[in-house]
Amino acid sequence: MLLAIDVYYKEQTAKAVGVLFNWDSAMPEQIIIEHSTGVEEYVPGEFYKRELPCVLKIIGQIKLDSVEAIIIDGYIYVDNDGAFGLGGVLYETINKSVPVIGVAKTSFFRNKETVTELLRGESKNPLYISSIGYPIDDAVERIKNMKGEFRIPAILKELDRITKE
């Protein structure tokens, strides 16, 4: 089982959604929703401070030992020297108990060497894949082969839709 998590913000509130699924799933097997108030302001380079508490609320609702990997909308590293972004901080926070895979939709100029670009479907815009605790080549191949014909795998597109509704 895999867990993908995304968070949507509106002013000082956040809606975090987690979906449990298998690599070959097109739809979630289970959906977990948590709402938060008093969310930190966004600080460039320290996004994890805003997002991590919301992500941990989702993780608190599942048994981590049943999860093969956690997929986040974001990066493991924020630069080429290995400084942690949300994914790396999450991995450390959960005591390296579950690998974390980052699937980002936009490039980040400082971490070109710590991500692998992946083109899916007929899109000319890549996804930016990073991982920790999970071999990057395997992570890229798994994301590449997820259900869905388009750039964003079907399960991640559904997660985004649920998060924003």
Query: Which pLDDT value is given to residue 112?
Result: 84
Q: Going by CATH, does the domain composed of 2-164 fall within 3.30.2170.10?
A: yes
pLDDT, residue 45, reads 66
Confidence (pLDDT) at 47: 74
CB-count burial class (<10 Å; 0-12, 13-18, 19+) for 94: middle
Q: What is the pLDDT of residue 38?
A: 84
- Tens digit of each residue's pLDDT, the chain (165 residues): 999 999 999 888 999 999 999 999 989 999 999 999 988 777 766 677 789 999 999 999 999 999 999 999 999 998 999 999 999 999 999 999 999 999 999 887 788 889 999 999 899 999 999 999 999 999 999 999 999 999 999 999 999 999 998
The values of phi and psi at residue 59, to 5°, are: -60, -35
Instruction: Give the model's pLDDT for residue 109.
Output: 76
pTM of the model: 0.94
Cβ neighbours, 10 Å, residue 119: 12
Parallel/antiparallel/unpaired status of strands 100-104 and 69-72: parallel
Domain boundaries, the chain: 2-164
* Nearest CA among 45, 106, 38, 105 for reference residue 79: 45
